[in-house]
Chains A and B, each alone.
Chain A
Amino acid sequence: MEYIKKENEHYNLHMIKTDKFKSTSIEIIFSREIKKEEITLTNFLTSLMTYTTKKYNTKIKFAQELENLYAARVFPSCYRLGKNMNVDFNMKVLNDKYAEDGLLDKAFEFLKEVIFNPKVENNEFSKDEFEIIKNEEISQIERFKEDTRKYAMLRLMELTDSTKPFSYNLKGYMEDLNKITRANLYDFYKKFINDSTVDIFIVGNIDFDKVSKIVFDKFNFLNKKIEKDSLMIEWNDYNKERKEVVENDNTNQAKLGISCRLQNITKFERDYVLNIYNTILGGTPDSKFFKTIREKFSLCYSVLSGANKLDNLLIITSGIAKENFKKAMILIEKEMDNMKKGDFTKEEIDRAKVCYLSGLDEIEDNPHQIIAHYYAMDKLGSDDLDVKRKMINKVTKEDIIKLSNKIYIDTVFLLGGDKK
C-alpha cells in the first residue's frame, strides 16, 4: 500500500495504491464547522445533489447512468466529527478488468456533474425535485423518534449539555426544514461548495500521475484552505452534580444511557489509554460489563461502553427491564470503581492491546477504513500505524488507573420500559 498526497491551493488529493480490491473507491469529503441551523440544510442539499443533476435531469436518468457505470453508487454520508460536520460523497466503481476501459474516468465525470452541476434554474433548485426531497426529509425527521435507542441517546446528550454540538440531532429539525426555500437552499449550496474544506481520496489499483491529472482537471474547487482549530469539544462548564432523569414511554424495554466526562486528559491518555480502558470496561463481549451485568446477573442482552475522544465523553448504554434500573446502576458503578482501584489483570490489559493491534492490521482490508485512517492522520493529528503500534504497548496499569480517576458520571437517563 502506497500513499501520496498532492495538493493545489484549494484542496488536497490523497491517493492510496493497492492491488487488493476489484474496485476503486472515491470519497470527496466536505468539512465545515457544525452549526445547528445548517444540519437540516446540509441533509436536504446532499440528498438533492444525489437525486438529479442538470445533465441527468430525472431520477430515472440519474439512476440509469449509475447502472451503466456497472452498478456504481453515489451516496452522501453526513456525520459529525467533534466540532465539525462532514459530508462524504462516496463512489465505488469496478476495475476496468471487470467492466470496460476508462470506467474510472467516466466515474469522475459523473461525480463532477453531481458536485458542480445541480439542477438549478434562475438561481434556485428546480421545483419537482425540491418537493420530493422535502417529503423525504420530513419523514426522516419524524421517523427518528421511532428508534427508541437512538432517541434515548439524543435525549441523553441534550441533558448532558444542550449547548454542545454532540447534542445536535443529525437527522435535522422540522422548524429548520420549514424555513428552507429553493432559493435559500441554492445560496447554501454555493456556501457549502466554496467554503468547506475539501479532501479527495482515491483507493485502488491506480496510476498516481494519471489519476491526479484527471482529478485536478475536473475538480476546480475555489475553496480557501484554512488551518483549522482543533476539532475537540472542551467543556469546563460541566454539571457539578450528577443529573438523573427518568422519562416514561410505553415500550417493552427501558433504554439506559450514561454520559461520563473525561476531564483534563493528556494526548497519550486520549489516543491510547482510553482505548484500553474502554475495551476492558465495556467495549467487547469479553468486557467487565458484559461478564457481570449480562452473563452473571442476566439483566440485559446488550451493555456497551464507547469512548468519543473528540467530545471528551465516554458513553454507556444498555437495554433493561425498568425494575432493574437501580440494580444495573449499582453494578455499572461498581465496575467503574474497580477500574479506579486497579482491580483488573495484566491479561485483561494484554487482550485489550491485542484487540487494538489487530484492528490496525484490519485497516488495509477495507477501503473505507484506509481513508478514515489517512484522514485522521491529516486532520486530527493521529499517529501513523508504526507509532500507534509502539505507543499502545507503552500503556501500563498505572496509566489506566490514573485515567479512570479522570472519568466522571455526568448524566444518567432512563427511557420507557413502561408497557405492562
Chain B
Amino acid sequence: MTIKELKGLDVKIYCETLDNGLRLFLIPYSNRNNYYINYATNYGAEVDEFVSCVTGKKTKKPYGVAHFLEHKVFEQEDGIDPFTYYSESGADVNASTGYKLTSYTVDGINNFEDNLNYLLDFVNTPYFTDENVEKEKGIIIEELNMYKDQPENILYEESNKLLFQKHPMRIDIGGTPSSVRKITKEILYDCYDTFYQPSNMFLLVAGNFDVEKVLNIVKNNKKLNSKKIKKEIKVTKVKEPVEVNIKEKEIKIDNIIVPKLFFNIKSPLKELEKEEKYKYIISADILSYILFGESSDFKEEMLKKNLFSLFFCSCDAVDDLLIYEFIAESKKPYEVKDEIIKCFKNRKITKEDVERIKKVKISLEVMASDRPYALLDVALNHLIDYGDIIYNKMDIIRSITLEDVEKVRNDILIDNNCFIVGYPKEK
C-alpha cells in the first residue's frame, strides 16, 4: 500500500491495486463521525458500442442501459433489500449514473465493516429476471418524465444536440421511454459482465474508518474475489469532430416563463501529460472566472443594462475538447450572446486578476478537502479525467501565470459556438 499526500491540504491518501485489478483509494479523517464509501465502475451512458466480454462480439445496446443497470443492481436473489439492510444500522445507500461512471455510495456512522462488506456483496451479485426487469420500466419512465418537465433540463439536452455531432452526450443519460422499453435481462447481464469487472472499478472511502480493516475486508470478500477474470474491455471510441453540429435554434417550452439561453463554445484540447492537462483546464477555469465571475465588470455591466437576471459560466473538458458553457435567463438572449463574445475577445486581463482568482481557487480546494464526500467526488473525477489523482494540484494552481491564462484564451475557437433559446409558448 502506498501513501500519498494531497500537498498543502493535510490529506493523506492510501492507494492499492488488488490482484484482480480493483483500485483502492482510502482517505481517513481523524476527526469525523461519518464515513463515505463510493464503489464505482468506469462505465456510464457514453458507452455506445463495445465488445461483449460474454460473447466476444461487437454490440450496441439501447440508450439508457447503464442507468437501468444501476437501478437493477439493487435487486437481490435472497430477497434482502439493500435499502432495508443499510437502514438497520442507520446508514444510507444510493447510486448514480453519469456519462463516464456509475457509482454506488454508502454513508453512515456505525457498522462500517459489515456495511462495506455488504456493498461489495450486493454490487457483485446481480439478479435480473424478466419480471424484475419489466417492473423497473414504469419506475424509470416516471423518472424520465420528471426531468422532461424541467425547462433547464430540456434546454441542456437540446443544447448538447447542437454542440455534438456524434458524441453520446447527445442522448440523455437515462435514455428515452422507447429505448428503456427495449431493455431485457440478457442485455443487462451482457453489460454487467463486461463492465463490472474489478479491473474496471474503483473503491474509495473517506471519513471515519480504519485503513487496515478496509484492506482486510476487500481481500476476504468472497463475492468480489470470486470474480478473478481480467478481460480486456474494448469500447469503440467515438471521435467527435471539433466543429459544432448546429449553430442556432429556438424552441418553445410549455412551462417556461422567463426565456433562457444556453451558449457553448467548443475548442480542441491538445493531448497533454496529466499535470499539464490539469494546469490547462484550471487556467481555462481561471480565465472564465475573471471574465464572467462574480467580480467581473461583465456581470456588473450586464446587470446594469438589465440584460439578464441569472447567469452562469463554466468550462469543462469532454474527451479532447474544451467546452465553455453559458446559461442565462434573459429577455434579450441575442444581445447576451454578442456581449459574451465581445468580452472574450476584448477584455484585458491583468496579473492582479490572475493572482486574486488563484487565491480563490486555492481556498475553495481547502474548503472542499474539509468535506470528505466532496473530496471523494474530486478524487473520482480525477481518476476518470486524468487516469490518476492530481496530488500536487495546489502547487500547480500556484504556478499558473498570466501567460498561461492568455495562452488558453488564444486557443479558443470563439466562432465555433452554438446557441439555443427557450421561449414560453404563447398561451
Contact = CB atoms under 8 A, between A and B. Distances in A.
Given A68-B359, A298-B139, 4 more contacts: A22-B370, A92-B367, A145-B257, A319-B142
A71 B359 contact: yes
A174 to B, nearest CB: 12
B197 to A, nearest CB: 28
Question: Which of B84, B135, B151, B357 has the most chain A CB atoms closer than 10 A to its own CB?
Answer: B84
A321 B142 contact: yes
Contacts of A5: none
Interface stretch (B31-39, B41-49, B216-224, B406-414): B31-39
Nearest to B88: A351
B145 A67 contact: no
Interface of B: 10, 31-34, 81, 83-84, 86-91, 93, 108-110, 135-140, 142-143, 145-146, 148-151, 254-258, 293-297, 299-300, 303-304, 306, 309-310, 329, 356-357, 359-360, 363-364, 366-367, 369-370
Contacts of A356: 90
Contacts of A64: 295, 356
A300 interface: yes
B32 A20 contact: yes
Interface string A207-231: 0000000000000000000000000
Contacts of A284: 83, 87
A58 to B, nearest CB: 6
Contacts of A285: 83, 93
A23 B87 contact: no
A358 B359 contact: no
Interface of A is mostly: helix
B89 A299 contact: no
A109 interface: no
A331 interface: no
A252 B370 contact: no
A290 interface: yes
Contact of A358 (B31, B91, B293): B91
A301 B89 contact: no
A19 interface: yes
A148 B147 CA distance: 11
A132 B304 contact: yes
Given A67-B356, A286-B81, A355-B87, A143 B367 contact: no
B300 A142 contact: no
Contact of A252 (B10, B91, B149, B151): B149
A47 to B, nearest CB: 11
Contacts of A300: 139, 142
Question: Which of B83, B293, B296 has the most chain A CB atoms closer than 10 A to its own CB?
Answer: B83
A250 interface: yes
Nearest to B307: A135
B256 A146 contact: yes
Nearest to B208: A365
Interface in A116-138: 128, 131-132, 135-136, 138
Those 6 A-B pairs whose CB atoms lie nearest each other, nearest first: A358-B90, A298-B138, A63-B295, A139-B309, A71-B363, A301-B143
14 contacts: A20-B32, A22-B10, A22-B366, A23-B370, A68-B356, A138-B309, A139-B309, A146-B256, A252-B145, A284-B83, A295-B139, A298-B136, A354-B90, A364-B33
